[in-house]
Amino acid sequence: MPEYKAPIRDIKFVMQELFDCDNHYQKLGYEDASLDMVDAIINEAAKFTEQVIAPINQSGDEQGCTWNDGEVTTPDGFKEAYQQYVEGGWPTLAQNVDFGGQGLPHSLNTAITELFSSANHSFAMYPGLSHGALATIEAHGSEQQKNQFIPKLVEGSWTGTMCLTEAHCGTDLGMLRTKAELNDDGSYSLTGSKIFISAGEHDLSDNIVHIVIARIPGSPQGSKGISLFIVPKFNITDDGAISDRNAVSCGSIEHKMGINANATCVINFDGAKGYLIGEINRGLNCMFTFMNVARLGVATEGVAAAEASFQGALAYAKDRLQMRSLSGVKNPDGPADAIIVHPDVRRMLLTQKSIAEGGRALIAYLAQLVDIGHASTCEEEKAAAETKLALLTPIAKAFLTELGLECTSHGVQVFGGHGFIKEWGMEQLMRDTKISCLYEGTTGIQALDLLARKILGSKGKILKAFGSEVTKFCLENAEDDAMQEFIQPIMSFGGDWQKMTEKVGEKAMQNPDEIGAASVDYLMYSGYLTLAYFWAKMAKVAQDKLSQGTDEEAFYQAKIKTARFYFQRILPRAKGHAACVENGGESMMALDADDFSF
């Protein structure tokens, strides 16, 4: 199993040098988030992930969760690790001080989240879902609900879930059958069954707070009749203390491809007591608070997977001897050269490195936008941040998880036959990562959200804020000879992005299916270009550091060389996606359903 090491230096590069987190935090009033504090927290998180969470990753996968008469037991070591997580104050890091949180920035917590996910994807999901439950209750709950539920969720003694999917409907939530009937005391009785509920039942926390969508009798059919409810595993008193067991039970746990140490549950509600959040029939609107938090978290999982697989592949490639280099012997004292000398192995390693580091920059940028939304006192600045988040969240979620999965495949490939063997841990990374492309909206759903709802729905206006930022950066560096290898492609691809958007819009007016036909390729094109922008920014920082003089020359030179690899070997993929968009959807829709028979 690869020994995970937190990429502290690169995290600090992104936070402190690329995005100047110190100035960002002070401007927003996060006075406690000094550079010394940020460094100390990241260093402690690194120790926790390396020494506590990572060692139970492979054993957790092998043992898995066990179900017995509705009760779920997590693998050996998970309960103890979670207790250390709570005792260390990690759940409280970025939470509201009014409810017992530390009030530190979301972007700092996001950096820590990557470490947890890289070290142990299954473990990280248990507390990760609580953040979405917290955000939903804080944004839409009543004062009583906030006081009853949030403090325990903040401290981590309670955890949260999101209950959307039912056996007969996945993405089409308007088809749900779970019903909520009003009780005399103002609460509701929920009846129905939900599937695929991550962390839906376990032995880590004292209570589990389910955020559940259901339909109140008499509500409209479809998504317009969805309401949102808080349904705890154990009922609680008015002052938030645990009372009797609610009519919520785990019918079974799923047998899955990956994330075996996280309980994915069938949750049954048999007249369970729940509490309405927000307005009747506005549940889906409230639910998007949870889903948007979750989508950024899943995008981070893609980066985490790329990083973990890169680390394992790199260590193996430096050690494994196989064949001689075509350009001459590199290891004359050995029977063969280390496989890292071979160009194809370099291709895979640099793909992993460029996606992990580029994705880390994109996630850090988005997390700072979330900081602005939470803490800025300037409404114009907050609105601009929300617009960029609306554009980039579906790109980050889909693009980074698809590329994260590719990177785990490269990790297996670098190991060759050994990568297919469980003891090395590389195949686990691949199995664990596939789910990130699926939950919180599949790649296709994210692509439709981006192209149909965000881009075409705004008539392209949503591109303006981010596009202007990219253009400004390019113009500022237009006379910098060292930057031309990065600036010119961005300008060219950016112009094509705009033209592509206009053409898809024109086709869609004639045939709406053109949107679905173009959407995934459009999103992937957008992702490659977006990451190119952040790689160009990183190259600029590295060049400036080198010109100023530094004792970390190798680190900054590696940044520039990796940026060059991304632009020469990864960014050109976007042209293929552009060609697919240009060719339209006619060939996709030409076959009748019966013609697919075999």
Distances 383 to 379, 462, 591 between C-alpha atoms, Å: 6, 12, 45
The two three-digit tokens of residue 12, written as one number: 């600090």
Relative orientation angle of helices 21-28 and 106-119, to the nearest 10 degrees:
130
Residue 34 CA to residue 120 CA, distance in Å, equals 28
Q: Which CA distances in Å does 384 have to 373, 376, 389, 390, 398? A: 9, 11, 9, 10, 22
Q: Do 403 and 570 meet the contact criterion of CB atoms below 8 Å apart?
A: no
Query: What are the tokens at 53?
Result: 């969470």
Known catalytic residue: 514? no
Q: What does the block give as tokens for 282?
A: 């506005």
Tell me the C-alpha distance between 229 and 215, whole Å: 10
Q: Residue 395 carries which side chain, given as an amino acid letter?
A: I
- What gap in Å lies between CA 374 and CA 352, rounded to an integer? 32
Three-state DSSP class for residue 181 = strand
Distance CA 354, CA 589 (A): 36
Measured CA to CA, the distance from residue 232 to residue 210 in angstroms comes to 6
Strands (E), 443-533: none
179-182 and 158-163: which strand pairing?
Answer: unpaired
Which residues lie across from 506 on neighbouring strands?
none
| Dist. CA 13–CA 456, nearest whole Å | 36
Residue 247 neighbours by CB under 8 Å, 6+ apart: 269, 270, 271, 272, 273
Q: Which of 114, 440, 502, 582 is catalytic?
A: 440
Tell me the CA distances in angstroms from 294 to 50, 127, 245, 393, one per residue in order. 24, 12, 28, 10
Strand bridging mode 207-214 / 158-163 = parallel
DSSP 220: P
Q: Which of 462, 301, 467 is nearest to 390 (CA)?
A: 462
Catalytic residues: 440
